[in-house]
Structure 1
Amino acid sequence: MTDAADSPRRITSPLRSFATSRAALWAGFVLAHFWLGLLNLYGPGFPLGDVTITYRLWTDQIVTGDYWMGIDSVWVYPILAIVPMLAAFALGPALYASTWLSLVMLLNAVAFAAITGWARSRDRAAVGWWWIGFLVLLGPIAVARIDSVSVPLAMVGVLLLATRPTAAVIVLTVATWTKVWPAALLAAILIACRGRVRLVVTAVSVSAAIVVVALLLGSGGNVFSFITQQTGRGMQAEAPVSTVWAWQAFAGVPDTYIYYDQDILSFQIVGQGVATAAAVMTPILALVALAVAATGVWAAHRGAEPTRLLAPLALALVTTLIVVNKVGSPQFISWLAVPLVLGLAANAAGHGPSFRFPSVLALVVAVMTQALYPYFYDELISLNPIMLTVLTARNVLLCVLLVWAVRAVVLVGRHAKAPPRGPHLP
């Protein structure tokens, strides 16, 4: 009986040792990125289109005409977004796509090393495997947008917080000036952690330096144009709030349909009440984000430990930016990896609540998003009922994720028993 009982352990132990080894982890990382690269370069749906057409056009304008987006004209992105786009031009226009993919892989490698601690911890190795799985399930979009640069930067930032909080805020501020969403992580840090004045001064100083450089280059007000460029747009077809109108369009409700906006370069929806909804969604997003932040402030005031509060609060704020948003681009789902990795790593180190449920839920959301884009996107915008059902289910799961995160923040606040002792993150 003893030999029989020990037999599974004898099998499991070598497998576990191999799975947590440095060789296995990095082999998995490389294979995942090789697969994602193949899908982008040769797969269906043209997922790398934004990179090879739009990003390359912007860099062509710099190289051939010294015309800089965000400097010489308004731009939808913060000014630092041009840096990785221009870096992908380093080997010439013919290799722009492969250089972009290599750049993203390099940034992800740095983040992966930060996650796994170079395979020194078996528990952190499991977190690394989760991120590999998330990237593969999310598919080619995971490495095919400017978000693919901001995600690893943000990942490194939150994982630096425990030992180098100033460096963490610097990295997160740079990430925010690449794509705005990491501002939610900065907000969560300022709410949950001590030493707020120093962190605020750091973030403001880095931002000021970036703005001053842009102004010296002649940007004028264009350096802030990313703030206003998105507010006037309509409702993107995949956004959670657009789901009702998508079904109305399928049902044949008059004057309700999906169209391609040549200015925004995305599919948007038209219908009764859509214009009003588009006008109020940005204020509603701000109000919901403030409400979530206020919940975090309440929990911190009650003495919630930063190690327990930060990850669920970050997840709640990031998910808010996805759920309560009139823009619903598939790459937004990649943002979820950062607070989820933080939560999984904190829990593995014995700090904070279990993140098993939201991490599994996010994997489901990721694979549903890959089905929606790029593989069956034509069917979705053609109002195929199966793909509309997948979209609806995906958006409902995002709402569930938001509810879970807010509930986790509330529970951390309720169970707080001692004053905060400052950040101690894994």
Structure 2
Amino acid sequence: MTIQQLRPPLRPAERGTVRPWPAVGALWVLTRLGMIWLLAHDSLGIGGVATEVHTLYRSWYAQLGQGSYPVGDVTWQYPPGAGAVILSPALLPFLTYVQAFTTLVLATDAVVTFALLRAGGTGVWMWVCGLPLLLHIPLARYDVQVTALAVLGLLALRRRPVLGGALAGLGAMVKVWPALTLLGTPRGRTTRAAWLSAACAAAVLLTVLALCFSHPLGFLRQQSGRGVQIESIGGTALALAHRAGWPGTVVYRYGALEFTGPHVQAVGRAALALTAAAFCWLLLWRMKAARWTDATPFDSALCAVLLFTVTSRVISPQYLIWLIGLAAVCLTSARTTQRPVAVLLLPAAAASSLAYPVLYTDVAEGSPLGCTLMVVRNGLLLAAALLSARRLWAATVPAGGARWTMRRRPPAARCPQ
């Protein structure tokens, strides 16, 4: 065996493909400075975004500091792991709460950027350029941290399924959706290792938090009472119905603007039924899928979260942070089927930031401009979800739904007796 044969495979940079570190770094700094400026000038006509951190997060921080999750607070609708994120600014005691929170978001954002850059492909550009389309919303919500757990978990799945599963399990304890990133793990040892480690990591975190804080599961009561938010697809249908004469109104409940009036509960139940149907379709896909590539776990994660997003009763603008992160992971693989889906998510993100905070008054009042904007945004998300599901199915399920089997060698002919 020659020395050349003993050498490990060359990395992309060694083959002459130089990763664009300086360009990505410069663009990241420029765009994040713009986002920080918007957050610092949150009262320039598009204000209200930082209220979450200034008031709500700080009040939760104070309650958690006393050893209890928020009790009787209808705005607390998150799994116990969210408490750890809300308390994380204590790691920087020399800063104010808002300053520390924003600093940690930016640090997490930088980690995601670095991980995507190392993974290769065009995913890092999706993340670096896509996140600023949401203006300063990512800096004032803790969804970047959740998305980081999902992104890092997916990138680790192929070589370190135990680590990937653990990160997904921790993410699920912060906001449930990262559990969906394990849907497309290859059958066999990888799936067993990833799913078991996810369950163990979630159980350990829940146990620790339950020992340290009281009422860790109180969020379930608040979550079940949510209605139809004005930014959801159901809310868009109700806004259009209102313009046609439907007598419903918009009220502030559960930390968001929701519709009340005749048939609203039916719309909410329909959304839940569609979510259940999406889950059943994903299970069917899992059973029938037979062609796996390195991109399949990424593609299925984006598809699953998209389906659960469009059937949600909420669809807040920060949901686009999740989708941009998952689309970025898909674009790290040359074999992804989700490139057209990623393209649709960019204008959807821009439309989301127009809907909130820029033109939120129009959206809340159901003006022609507000209705048009929500139809465009939700139409793009719905189109992306349907396209994602169709492309994932076509790439992984053989024609006719038959299971794909490896072609076996014919048995050796027996010697005549």
> In percent, how many aligned pairs have the same letter?
25
Report if aligned partners of 2:153, 2:167 keep a CA contact under 8 Å in 1.
yes
What is the alpha-carbon distance in structure 2 between the residues aligned to residue 31 and residue 70 of structure 1?
38
Q: Partner residue of 2:160?
A: 164
Using the TM superposition, give the Cα deviation of residue 133 of structure 1 relative to its aligned residue in structure 2, in angstroms.
1.1
Alignment match, 1:11? none
Decide whether aligned partners of structure 1 residues 69 and 218 sit closer, same or farther in structure 2, where only a CA change above 3 A counts.
Answer: closer
- Say whether the 8 Å CA contact 1:160–1:168 is kept in structure 2: yes
CA distance in 1, matches of 2:349, 2:30: 18
Residue of structure 2 in register with 1:13 after alignment: none
The offset of 1:92, in angstroms, is 5.3
The aligned amino acid for 1:52 is: H
Which aligned pairs between 1:375-394 and structure 2 lie closer than 5 A?
A: 375-394=358-377
How do 1:12-411 and structure 2 match up within 5 A? 20-43=19-42, 44-63=46-65, 66-69=66-69, 75-91=76-92, 95-117=96-118, 124=121, 126-189=122-185, 194-217=189-212, 219=214, 222-254=215-247, 256-261=248-253, 264-299=254-289, 303-347=290-334, 351-353=335-337, 355-411=338-394
**Structure 1 residue 285: deviation in Å?**
1.1
Distance change in 2, residues 1:378/1:309 (3 Å): same
CA spacing shift, 1:414–1:395, aligned 2, 3 Å = same
**Gap change, CA 1:231 and 1:71, over 3 Å in 2:** closer
CA distance in 2 between partners of 1:239 and 1:93 (Å): 40
Matched position secondary structure for 1:346? coil
Structure number with larger C-alpha Rg: 2
Cα distance in 2 for partners of 1:19, 1:136 equals 25
Mapped partners of 2:17, 2:138: distance in 1: 27
Partner Cα separation in structure 2 for residue 287 and residue 252 of structure 1? 31
User: How much does 1:51 deviate?
Assistant: 1.3
Shift of 1:266: 0.5
Contact 1:192 1:309 in 2 (8 A): no
- SS across alignment from 2:47: coil
SS state of the match for residue 195, structure 1? helix
Give, in angstroms, the shift of residue 282 of structure 1: 2.7
Change (3 A) 1:193 1:370: farther
- Which amino acid letter does the alignment assign opposite residue 98 of structure 1? Q
8 Å Cα contact 2:163-2:194 kept in structure 1: no
Deviates more, 1:87-96 or 1:29-38: 87-96
Q: Deviations over 1:166-201 (max 9, x none)?
A: 111111111111111111112333x66753222222
Q: Which amino acid aligns with 2:48?
A: F
2:64–2:70: 8 Å Cα contact kept in structure 1?
no
Task: Determine helix, strand or coil for the equivalent of 1:259.
Answer: strand
TM-score normalised to structure 1 length: 0.83
Asked if the contact 2:127/2:325 (under 8 Å) is kept, the reply is: no
For 2:220 and 2:130, the matched residues in 1 are separated by 30
- Between the aligned partners of 1:170 and 1:54, the Cα distance in structure 2 is 29
- Say if 1:258 and 1:70 are closer, same or farther in 2 by CA, change over 3 A: closer
Q: Which runs of 4+ in 1 moved over 3 A?
A: 17-20, 70-75, 89-94, 191-194, 224-228, 415-420
**Whole-angstrom CA distance in 2 between matches of 1:401 and 1:243:** 17
- Bigger shift: 232-241 or 406-415? 406-415
Preserved CA contact (<8 Å) 1:239 1:328: yes
Conserved? CA contact 2:150–2:178, under 8 Å:
yes
Post-superposition offset of 1:158:
0.8
Find the residue that maps to 2:69 and give its secondary structure.
Answer: coil
Summarize the Cα distance change of 1:130–1:195 in structure 2 as closer, same or farther, 3 Å threshold.
closer
Whether the 8 Å CA contact 2:69–2:216 is kept in 1: the answer is no
Relative to structure 1, the CA distance from residue 250 to residue 297 in structure 2 (aligned partners, 3 Å threshold; closer, same or farther) is same
Give the 3 Å change call, closer, same or farther, for CA 227–24 of structure 1 in structure 2.
same
2:143–2:318 Cα contact (<8 Å) kept:
yes
**Residues of 2 paired with 1:209 and 1:200: CA distance?**
14
Give the letter for the 2:69 counterpart: M
For 1:338 and 1:62, the matched residues in 2 are separated by 29
Q: Return the structure number with greater helix share.
A: 1
Unaligned runs of 5+ in 2: 1-15, 408-417
- CA–CA separation in structure 2 for the residues paired with 1:306 and 1:362: 23
Aligned counterpart, 1:423: none
Q: Is the alpha carbon distance of 1:196 and 1:101 closer, same or farther for their aligned partners in structure 2, counting shifts above 3 Å?
A: same
Deviations, residues 88-118 of structure 1 (Å, cap 9, x unaligned) = 244459722222111011111111111001x
Label 1:341 to 1:133 Cα distance change in 2 as closer, same or farther (>3 A): same
In structure 1, give the amino acid aligned to 2:324: A
Contact 1:240 1:324 in 2 (8 A): yes
- Where 1:268 maps in the other structure, the secondary structure is strand
Structure 1 position 280, deviation (Å): 4.6
Structure 2 residue identity aligned to 1:240: I
Distance in 2 (alpha carbons) for counterparts of 1:228 and 1:62: 18
User: Residues 403 and 73 of structure 1: is their aligned pair in 2 closer, same or farther, counting only changes over 3 Å?
Assistant: closer
Q: Is the Cα contact below 8 Å between 1:150 and 1:175 reproduced in 2?
A: yes
Distance 1:284 1:369 in 2: 22
* Structure 1 residue 18: Cα displacement: 12
- What is the deviation of 1:346? 1.3
Within 2, Cα distance between the matches of 1:338 and 1:292?
20
Cα separation, partners in 2 of 1:26 and 1:402, compared to 1, 3 Å: same
TM-aligned CA deviation for residue 379 of structure 1? 1.8
